[in-house]
Amino acid sequence: MTNTVLLVGNLGADPETRSTRGDTRITNFSLGTSRPKRDSEGKVMKDPSTGYTLKDTEWHRVTCFNGLGKTVEQYATKGMMVSVRGRIHYSQYEKDGITRYATEIIAEDVQFLSRGRQGSDQNGGRGGQLDLDDDIPF
């Protein structure tokens, strides 16, 4: 059995990074995914004024560790489209005497599908362009 998830969506905000006392780097970001909105009969709903398909958006909390987190922090920005492959992680904690539950995606791989900002050392010392697919329209 396996716990694998693949999501493609847009960052809702710039990633945030923190470090633990043991120097583990943890980077979090929110990822928005969308699907067509459907009526009670299962038909795809359209906006009457524009004709565009209406969408339902879901938000996912994504966590990256160490090197992957550093890369995401360096190059990802709000609105950027990314693909995330990882696993679903459930946790619970107590706050103010109330048990709370959380769900997050622990990322194993993040692929950048649109251009983001360049790092402070211009592409992480690699020189030239980032390894992005030039066939994707921007």
The CATH number of residue 48's host domain is 2.40.50.140
Q: Are 25 and 69 in contact (CB under 8 A)?
A: yes
Q: What is the pLDDT, as a whole number, of residue 110?
A: 97
Name the domain count of the chain. 1
Q: pLDDT tens digit string along 25-66?
A: 999 999 999 999 999 999 999 999 999 999 999 999 999 999
C-alpha distances out from residue 59 to 34, 56, 84, 112, 123, Å:
9, 10, 13, 18, 29
Q: Are 87 and 110 in contact (CB under 8 A)?
A: no
Q: pLDDT tens digit string along 115-138?
A: 766 554 444 443 334 444 444 444
Q: Quick check: is 67 in a domain?
A: yes
In one-letter notation, the amino acid at residue 90 is Y
Beta pairing, strands 55-65 & 98-112: parallel
Range of the domain at 89: 5-116
Q: What is the pLDDT, as a whole number, of residue 129?
A: 42
Q: Quick check: is 70 in a domain?
A: yes
User: Biggest alpha carbon distance in the chain?
Assistant: 55
**Distance (Å, whole) CA 55 – CA 65:** 31
Q: What is the pLDDT, as a whole number, of residue 115?
A: 79
